[in-house]
Amino acid sequence: MAKTKKTKILVTGGVGLIGHNVIKELQKSRKNDVQAIDAFTTYGTVDKAELEYLYNQRLKQIDQETQIFKEDICIPEIDEIFKTFQPDVVIHLASFPREAAVKANPIEAARTMCVGTANLLDCCTRHKTPKFVYISSSMVYGDFAEASEDDKLNASGQYSIWKIAGEELVKEYNRTTGQDYIILRPTAVYGPLDVGDRVIGTFFKRAMADDTLYVNGKDETLDFTYVKDTATGIALASVAKNVTGTYNISRGKKEKIIDVANIIVKLVGKGTVKVRAKKTSMPSRGTLDCTSAMMAFKFNPKIDIEEGLKNYYDWVKDSVYWTKETV
């Protein structure tokens, strides 16, 4: 009896928060053969020792059958990986993670998010890779109370500019070469093995130190999405048949940031919450409409904010890097 041909999937940014969870989801099926690329970048905004610790912990969760290449996606040598592996799908997660990291390293961020994306698309064209999955961001919408995929894009910083540029580059390759693609826009992803300087990580650090949790604007919201739900959505989209286009993937329910801070204080049992003026440089973000993803590839987020925060706390309270000194 002939063996069933496996779907070969190449994940860039495979040791990131989302990336290693995507690999774990893909590895649940014996139909998938997964390899990954990661530059193990420090970005300059997070403590190097903390990132090395997180990278090592994430690697322990990835099946050893998955080969991980420590490479820069911008270099021509990436072509050798395509030549040898011949992927059926590329999931492109490699990116600078947020606006602060981009501002700290603007040239390197532009190189990674633009040149790197172009290099991967060029490799896909040369090796006839059937599908390219580009991971964008809800930041492309700018300010929004609710956003659907057809809404006008509104860059609000360098990070969103490069994400929009990446989307346009993907669509241009589709127009000129026929490269099949899916663009996914996640938002406010959180969960275990994340760096400690995002909003939820910062809140947990301060609560555990019995310090003040500062909320920038009493009415500010985010559609917080647990990383396993995000990863499951990406995995489903990557292997879905006859699916193309752009899709939001999130919990689909905005939460007031002040409410999240209060849940964390209750979980930890200490800390206080204080509201201060909103930082005008950051867009106000609400709920993503994920109806299209639910219909196209059966995206179904399951973890609500209370369960997600408890899972996060179960991990974070034992982490060696979560001290007041790192806040």
pLDDT averaged over consecutive 10-residue blocks of the chain (327 residues)?
Answer: 82 97 96 96 79 93 94 96 98 93 92 97 98 97 96 94 98 97 98 92 94 94 97 98 97 97 97 88 88 98 98 88 49
Convert 57-76 into a string of H (helix), E (strand) and C (coil).
HHHHCCCCCCEEEECCCCCC
| pTM for this model (two decimals) | 0.95
Q: What pLDDT was estimated at residue 2?
A: 56
- Measured over all CA atoms, what is the biggest interatomic distance in the chain, rounded to whole angstroms? 67
Q: What pLDDT was estimated at residue 280?
A: 66
Q: What pLDDT was estimated at residue 59?
A: 96
Q: What pLDDT was estimated at residue 279?
A: 73
Q: Residue ranges per domain, the chain?
A: 7-190+224-252+283-303
- The region, left, alpha or beta by phi > 0 then psi within -120 to 50, assigned to residue 86 is left
N-to-C CA span, the chain: 59
Please name the residue that has the structure tokens 């001290």: 323
Cα separations in angstroms, 137 against 38, 100, 163, 199, 259: 19, 15, 7, 17, 23
Closest CA to 263 of 306, 214, 220: 306
7-190+224-252+283-303 is classed CATH 3.40.605.10? no
